[in-house]
Structure formats: C-alpha cells, structure tokens
Amino acid sequence: MLAKLTDVLQGTIENKYAIPAFNVFGYEDAQAVIEAAEEMGAPVILATNKVAIQHIPIHIIGKLLVGLAEQATVPVVVHLDHGKDYETVAKAIASGYSSVMYDGSHLPFKENVRTTKEIVRMARAFGIPVEAEIGSVGYSDPSLGTGALTDPLEAKQFAEETEIDALAVAVGTLHRMEEQTAHVQFDRLHEIEQLVSVPLVMHGSTGIPDEDLKKMASTNIGKVNIGTAIRMAFGTTLRQEVNANPASFDRIDWFKRPMEAVKEEAKHKMKLLSLETYSKQPVQIK
C-alpha cells in the first residue's frame, strides 16, 4: 500500500526501530526491496536520487514505483531523495511521490531556511511530507562533494523555523562508501536528539558498521538511507551471472539472481534496524 513518510515514521522513536530508505533505479531492485519488506512484514521506503531520475524521467519512474507500492501488502513510501530545486520537487509531487526531500544543505543557513520553507508550503498544499538537511553529508570521493558536520543548535533552529517532517543530519557518514568504515559521532547525534523533536535521518548508511547500525534503532533516527549496499549486491551478482553464462543474452534470466541478492541484503539491513519488532506496532495509514 502506498504510504507517506509521516505514516511510517510514527512510532520509530518510541518503539526503537528505524525505516530503511533504499535508493532504487528501476523495476528490478524496487521489486526486490518490496519483497524483502513483505517477508519481514514491515514498511519500507523506495527512494530515487538525482542519478535515477536522470536515467528514467521522474514522471515515468514515479508512476512505476507508485504502482508497485499500491500493490504491496506492506506500507511503501515513494520518496524523492536530494531534490535540489523547487521544480524537481514539484515534478515529483505531480508524479505521485508520497514523500520528498529538499536538499538545500549546500546553501548558506538563511538561504537554506528560506528555500526549505517555500518547499514545505508547496508540499503541504498537497499533503506531502518534507525531509530537509542541515549540515551536509559528503561523498567518499571528495570530487563529488565534501561535507560539513551538523551543528546541534543550527539543527534546532532549522527544524523549528522550517517546520519540516524529518531532518537529515551529518554526524560522520559519507555517501557511496563501499566499506563499513564510517565513524558515527554518537555524542553529536545525542546532542541533536536533545534539541530536535522531529525524526532524524541518516544518509550514507552503507558505510556504517553493523554494530553501529543496530544502535541507530535506539536513537531518534527514524529513517536510514541505504543505496550502495544494494547496488553492490545487484552489480556483483549480475557480473557473476554474465561471466558464468557467456552465450546468454536474455537479461530477464540474468536479473533473477541479482534480484534475490538485493532482497537478502535489504532484509539484512532491516533486521539490523530492529524491524522484526515492527509487527507489534503497526503503522496507521492516514
């Protein structure tokens, strides 16, 4: 069933679990993630980043993901990840996305507040929840962008002034990490938790060691973004399939094992985030 971000985030703080947002690029990985969620009996978020919507126009991939979500037996959010401008966010809403992130973290603080408030005003008119970011999560390759850790007092002011529904913070992770070597600054995260009442969001979570990812479930992190882990699962398994079957040319056959690999990796992350306990606190879809 199609759900909103605010639907699935309710109860995450009180009941000590977090919802993963998996960056997907089309039917195969999206369907695999939904199957993982259905086997877990838990909600999930399908997110599309700028690479995905450059590859498949937003109005096309949006309708595809919404169609999959509507057929699912668990709550599924269709979420725009790192929307960079008003036009992109508006297109996502018009295409059926049930949640959007506006990322003005590259802007000066006052400009980030001003543009985020504009996005919130527009999204609220359609009943769509908004995530935004303060501080900035960088990349494992600095040429793609460097980050800045979140200042707890700025996080408080930003959340209060913009009235967003979820706040992404930078506390030590990086996007596109292939190894689990991120050092999460839990002390900084705890400071932010004391000052910000809305659910927090962790980006770049592939790089977080399993033990630290488990800790996320007991914090105010309600949403955990994961992309590289499932891309690696799909790509590595697909390479094995192609190499093992050099005469094959049917991509549907090639995709079977990669889809299974994505499903298993998604289930692994969901277990770490304590989603096995979700069935005790089911989401109420509004």
Instruction: Specify the residue for token string 């996502």.
Output: 92
At residue 161, the pLDDT reads 97
Compute the average pLDDT of residues 178-186.
Answer: 76
Q: What is the pLDDT of residues 134-160, one digit of tens each?
A: 987 766 656 565 667 889 999 999 999
Q: Which uninterrupted H or E stretch holds 21? A: strand 19-23
For the chain, what is the mean pLDDT?
91
- Residue 17's pLDDT band, with cuts at 50, 70 and 90, is very high
- Residue 178's pLDDT band, with cuts at 50, 70 and 90, is low
Q: Which phi and psi (to 5°) does residue 84 adopt?
A: -95, -15
**Catalytic residue of the set 81, 103, 165, 212:** 81
Identify the residue with better confidence: 215 or 90.
90
- Share above pLDDT 70 across residues of the chain, in percent, rounded to a whole number: 91
Is residue 215 within 8 A of residue 186, CB to CB? The reply is: yes
Q: Report d(CA 21, CA 224) in Å as an integer.
A: 6
- Share above pLDDT 90 across residues of the chain, in percent, rounded to a whole number: 74
Q: Report d(CA 12, CA 26) in Å as an integer.
A: 28
Q: Catalytic residue at 81?
A: yes
> Among the residues of the chain, which ranges form H helices?
5-9, 12-15, 27-40, 50-55, 58-71, 86-94, 109-124, 152-162, 186-195, 210-216, 228-244, 251-272
Q: Which uninterrupted H or E stretch holds 77? A: strand 76-83
Compute the average pLDDT of residues 54-60.
Answer: 96
Q: Report d(CA 3, CA 108) in Å as an integer.
A: 33
Q: Which phi and psi (to 5°) does residue 224 adopt?
A: -125, 115
pLDDT over threshold 70, residue 282: no
Domains of the chain and any CATH numbers: 2-280 (3.20.20.70)
At residue 131, the pLDDT reads 97
Residue 241 CB partners (closer than 8 Å, separation 6+)? 248, 253, 254, 257, 258
Closest CA to 126 of 44, 284, 283, 4: 4
Closest CA to 220 of 202, 203, 234: 202
Closest CA to 18 of 28, 36, 5, 33: 5
User: What are the C-alpha distances in Å from 218 to residues 2, 44, 83, 145?
Assistant: 26, 18, 28, 30
Closest CA to 6 of 120, 134, 83, 171: 120
pLDDT over threshold 90, residue 99: yes
Compute the average pLDDT of residues 191-214.
Answer: 91
